Amino acid sequence: MGKPTGFLEFTRELPLELSPQERLRNWDEFHLAMADEKVATQGARCMDCGTPFCHTGNLVSGMASGCPINNLIPEFNDLVYRGLWREALDRLHKTNNFPEFTGRVCPAPCEGSCVLGINNPPVTIKNIEYSIIDKGWREGWVAPEPPLKRTGKKVAVVGSGPAGLAAAAQLNKAGHWVTVYERADRPGGLLMYGIPNMKLDKDEVVLRRLKVLEAEGITFVCNTEIGKDLPAETLLKDYDAVILCTGATRPRDLTLEGRELAGIHFAMDFLTANTKALLDGQPGADYISAADKDVVIIGGGDTGTDCVGTSLRQDCKSVTQLEIMPRPPKERAPNNPWPEWPKVYKLDYGQEEAAAVFGQDPRVYLTTATRFEGDDQGRVKAVHTVEVEWGKNEKGQFVPQPIPGTEQVRPAQLVLLAMGFLGPEEPLIRSLNLAQDPRGNVKADYGKYETSLPGVFAAGDCRRGQSLVVWAFNEGRGAARACDLYLMGETDLPG
């Protein structure tokens, strides 16, 4: 694919970004578009490797290796190199309903398993995908495509996040009438409220796609929580099938002394309230401000990074991010070989911005909180921390052990808990009396997606646990295929 000698002739090049000082002035996306010719040159680096791992979508050592939705990456790289952009978009849409989302927020496991990446910087797959779909929108190539005929079958999708949207889009293509229920005031789930605007613009990107889905015949019902505002039994009675895509929204807590103090919040509450204030044009009653505060974020990952970037845009006084794990190496460790996801040190956008403002990476590694200290008003004023080292306990498990003499007291008027999620909320699961796996997720086999209740399917984080947006797309598409097969006895939908 691409130019046979392109990987020898051209170096990896990414689009320019606004400087941290410029982008901190607003909540806009900060990636600058790359010229078509430069994108084509990057497509030329795809090396006709014979056995491409970039679109395999396997789990290697528990991490995604290759694209979970099996994007036909060498093919669209080649088409872009040849200037066939419309054909590249068609190829991309064969496997990905929403490439404008993954092109912005996916960590790109495809690049981690790129064969060129064994001994050179990998192909810029994510940016090529982003460039294809954005050009498609600019050129008017993305337009509503309602199904030519309807089956008369009705399907309810509970949850309008990544899995729910993918399932709804596929089922609508099959000709079923699809209604998507969302408990928030706007559809989109994680895409709308869980990811900040500077990573994924709500008006220009998310709402743009939602309008196309509506024009194709999908109905969105917001401000409706199934099991609370509408009985779950109503769905079973009114619809031919139901797909649960409620996500894994139960946050992991930290039960330390002082946890009850005001000013300690779950990260997603902080991010959601901020995005809602931005969209509404004014802060709501649940708005959480980092303005002029020392912010301590406990936990890493994308959510922690988003908290850093959001705190900076709210003009925090300082920001510190506690990481209990050690700092990753600059290059792949011997026990982290290709095609595993490369666990290497990098500055994500939030850390880069914090370093520009405060002079250093805000992350403090091998450090954990031991207790929260409050003032006489019952508000948090400090986080007590200690450094740790990892070693085996009496059961042979690796656990962190505190290092005496490394205790510190860090000022904090706002603490954000970004330690991941435990699984789906359970009231809806219990109201339907659905079987659960040992981790509390809805029990449904991967590839089949059928729950213990006939006609009810589950997909995304509520089935597999906290994961990537692109895995949610994989599961939403797969559940749509399983649901279509259940309804019609046969299916033409891809998995």
- Over the stretch 423-443, which tens digit does the pLDDT of each residue have? 999 999 999 999 999 999 999
Average pLDDT, whole number, for the chain? 96
Q: Residue 159: is its pLDDT beyond 70?
A: yes
Mean pLDDT of 399-419: 97
Q: What is the pLDDT of residue 50?
A: 86
Contact 354, 361 (CB under 8 A): yes
Q: Are strands 219-221 and 241-244 parallel, antiparallel or unpaired?
A: unpaired
What's the rounded mean pLDDT across residues 289-317? 97
User: In this predicted structure, what is the pLDDT of residue 67?
Assistant: 97
Higher pLDDT, 3 or 30: 30
User: Percentage of the chain surpassing pLDDT 70?
Assistant: 100
So what's the pLDDT on residue 3? Answer: 86
Using the predicted structure, report yes or no on whether residue 209 has a pLDDT greater than 80.
Answer: yes
For the segment 245-262, the average pLDDT, to the nearest whole number, is 97
pLDDT at res. 126:
97
Q: pLDDT-derived band of residue 115, with 50, 70 and 90 as boundaries? A: very high
Tokens of 136: 């498609």
Per-residue pLDDT reduced to its tens digit, 210-223:
999 999 999 999 99
**Per-residue confidence (pLDDT) for residue 495, from 0 to 100:** 72
Q: Which amino acid is at 135?
A: K
* Average confidence (pLDDT) over 107-128: 96
Res. 1: pLDDT tops 70: no
Cβ neighbors of 449 (< 8 A, separation 6 or more) are 243, 457, 458, 459, 463, 475, 478, 479, 482, 483
Average of pLDDT values for 472-493?
98
- The whole-angstrom separation of Cα 44 and Cα 79 is 10
Average pLDDT over residues 377-389: 98
**pLDDT score, position 48:** 83
Lowest mean pLDDT among 249-263, 270-284, 355-369, 389-403: 389-403
| pLDDT (average), residues 389-396 | 91
pLDDT band at 64 (very low <50, low <70, confident <90, very high): confident
Q: What is the pLDDT of residues 437-468, one digit of tens each?
A: 999 999 999 999 999 999 999 999 999 999 99
Confidence of residue 62 (pLDDT cuts 50, 70, 90): confident
- Rounded to whole angstroms, the Cα distance separating 274 from 320 reads 19
In this model, does residue 199 exceed pLDDT 80?
yes
Domains of the chain: 6-139 (1.10.1060.10), 154-249+422-488 (3.50.50.60), 253-419 (3.50.50.60)
Q: Which residue has the tokens 């990952």?
A: 301
Per-residue pLDDT, averaged over 393-404, amounts to 93
pLDDT at 311 exceeding the cut of 80: yes
Confidence at 84, pLDDT banded by 50, 70, 90? very high
What is this structure's pTM?
A: 0.96
Question: From CA 360, how far away is CA 321, in angstroms rounded?
Answer: 12
280 pLDDT band (50/70/90 cuts)? very high
Binned at pLDDT 50, 70 and 90, residue 201 comes out as: very high
Q: What gap in Å lies between CA 473 and CA 404, rounded to an integer? A: 46
Question: With 0-12 CB in 10 A as exposed, 13-18 as middle and 19+ as buried, what is 396?
Answer: exposed
